[in-house]
Amino acid sequence: MDLKDFLEYPLPNMQIDIDKIAINMNEKNSGVINIKNIGGGILSGDIVSNTECLILDTNNFLGNDIKIEYSVVPSIYSSGDFIKSEIVIISNGGQVYIPVYITIANFDYLECGKEKIYTIKEFYSYYLKNYIEAIRIFYSYEFILWLKNINYKHIDVVEEILKDANKQRAIDNFFVLTKMKEKAYIQISQKYFKYKYFTRKTEADIIGIIPLKLIGTGYFEEDISLEDDAEYIKLSKNKITNKDFDNNGIFNLEFKILKNKINSFFERKKIIFNKINENVIIEISKKKPIEIIFEKEYFSTTDKGTLKILNNTEEDIVIEIVPKDTFVFFEGKKYLISKYTEIGFDIKLTGFLKAQMDFTKKPNIESEILIKAILGDTIYKMQKNIYVGNSLI
C-alpha cells in the first residue's frame, strides 16, 4: 500500500527567516516573523509567546507565506531588566522554537531634546517651555520606563490617564497627580439674576454677564445647558475650558434674554453647570406699562391724597384722570408723564352725602378713579377704588 493514497503529499515543510529575536529597548520594540511553506499542501499551525511582554498579532495561521508581527509592551519592564524567553511555533510542517532576548536600558534620565530630565519637577519645567514636544514624550514608551526607574508609585494611574484621547487633559491630570498642578474648579460669584421689563418692539434685548473665577492650574472643562432648553435665553458658550479664562483666571459668560420669545408674564429658569452641579437662576417678569400707586385707600370726609404714577414704557405718555364722583377733585384732567410723577387731589364730601351716610349708617362711601394712559396709538385703561367716610376701618 502506498502512503500517498492516505496522506497529503508532498507534506508541508515550514521555514522561518530568523533564528532568534534580540531586542534592545533603547533601539526598537517591534518586528516581523516571516513563515514560508517550502513543501507541499497548505501550511497551518499555532504560534505562542512564552512571555507576556512580547505580544503577537495572531496566535494561529493558515497559508504558505505568512507574516507574524510582534511588539514589546514597555510598561511591563523595569529599567535594567534582561528577559530571556522563547516563541513556539507548532504546525503541520514542523515545530520551531525561537529564542527571545530582551535587554532594557537603564533609564536614569529622560531625554527631552538636548536636555536630560531627572525629576518630574524638571519635566514640568520642560513642559512649560516646550508644550508640544513634552506631550509627545509623555505618550512615549520611554516615559513609562523612566517613571518606573525613578520608582514612581502610581504607574497604574498614569497608564489609565494615557488612554485619554484629549492630550491636554491627560498631561494636566498627570501634573495634578504629581502635585505640580492643582485640580481646577470654578467659583460663580453671582447665582441669581432678576429682571423686570416692559416690552416695546424697538426695545433692546437684555444682556447679562455671569462672572466666573478659575481656581487651580489643572485642566478644566465644563458643559453648560439651559433648563427645559429655554428658547428665550442664549448663551455665548455652551462649553468652557481653562483656555477661556484670562491670566487672572477670570471669564465672563455672557447671556442674552430675547424678550420677543417670552410668552408669559413670569419665567424662572436655570443655567446649569453640569459637571460641577451648580446652577444660576434667571428670573424674568414683565412690568405693567403703567403702575398706579395710592399712598392710602381710605380717606376722611375732608382729606388730601397723592396718586403716584410710574411709567415703565421709556416713552412719554399722556395720562387722563376722571374721578367717578365730584367730591374727588384733581387740578387737571390731562398730564404728560415722563418716568415718574406724583399728582395730588382733594377729598371734600358734601353735607348731603355726610347726612346720607349717617342716615344709612354706612361707615364710608366707595368711589372710583378712572385712569387712561395713551402711548402712541395704544390706550391702557386702569381703575383705582378709594373709600371716603367717617370710619377708615
Q: Write out the residue limits of the CATH 2.60.40.10 domain(s) in the chain.
A: 3-103, 186-286, 290-389
Cβ neighbours of 371 (radius 10 Å): 18
The predicted model gives 155-173 an average pLDDT of: 93
Q: What is the pLDDT of residue 4?
A: 56
The per-residue pLDDT for 220 is 93
- The C-alpha atoms of residue 76 and residue 224 are separated, in whole angstroms, by 41
- Residue 362: predicted pLDDT: 81
pLDDT in tens, 222-238: 999 999 878 889 999 99
Mean pLDDT of 245-270: 90
Please give the share of the chain, as a percent, with pLDDT higher than 90.
Answer: 50
- Does the structure show a pLDDT above 60 at 204? yes
Task: Check if the beta carbon of residue 88 is closer than 8 Å to that of residue 35.
Answer: no
More confident call, 383 vs 151: 383
pLDDT for 177: 93
Q: Residue 306 has which C-alpha cell?
A: 397723592
Least reliable range by pLDDT among 43-52, 327-336, 350-359: 350-359
Q: How large a percentage of the chain has pLDDT more than 70?
A: 92
Burial class (CB within 10 angstroms; exposed 0-12, middle 13-18, buried 19+) of 305 = buried
C-alpha cell at 383: 381703575
pLDDT score of 201: 52
| pLDDT above 90: residue 135 | yes
Supply the pLDDT for residue 176: 94
Q: Map residue 219 onto helix, strand or coil.
A: coil
| Cβ pair 141, 30 in contact under 8 A | no
Mean pLDDT (whole number) for 135-151: 87
Q: Is the pLDDT of residue 297 over 80?
A: yes
Q: To 10 degrees, what angle do helices 167-177 and 120-129 make?
A: 150
Residue 98 · residue 86 · CB < 8 Å:
yes
Q: Which three cell numbers stand for residue 84?
A: 530571556
All three cell numbers of 111? 531625554
Which CATH code of 2.60.40.10, 2.40.30.10, 3.30.565.10, 1.20.1050.10 fits the domain covering 290-389? 2.60.40.10
What does pLDDT average to over the chain? 87
The predicted model gives 24-39 an average pLDDT of: 82
Residue 376 confidence (pLDDT) above 90: no
pLDDT of residue 356: 81
3-103 placed in CATH 2.60.40.10: yes
CA distance 193 to 281: 6
The answer to whether the beta carbons of residues 145 and 104 sit under 8 Å apart is yes
- Tell me the C-alpha distance between 13 and 35, whole Å: 10
Q: Nearest-CA neighbor of 175 among 253, 120, 226, 227?
A: 120
The matching CATH number, chosen from 3.90.420.10, 2.60.40.10, 1.10.1500.10, 1.10.10.10, for 186-286 is 2.60.40.10
Length reported for the chain: 393
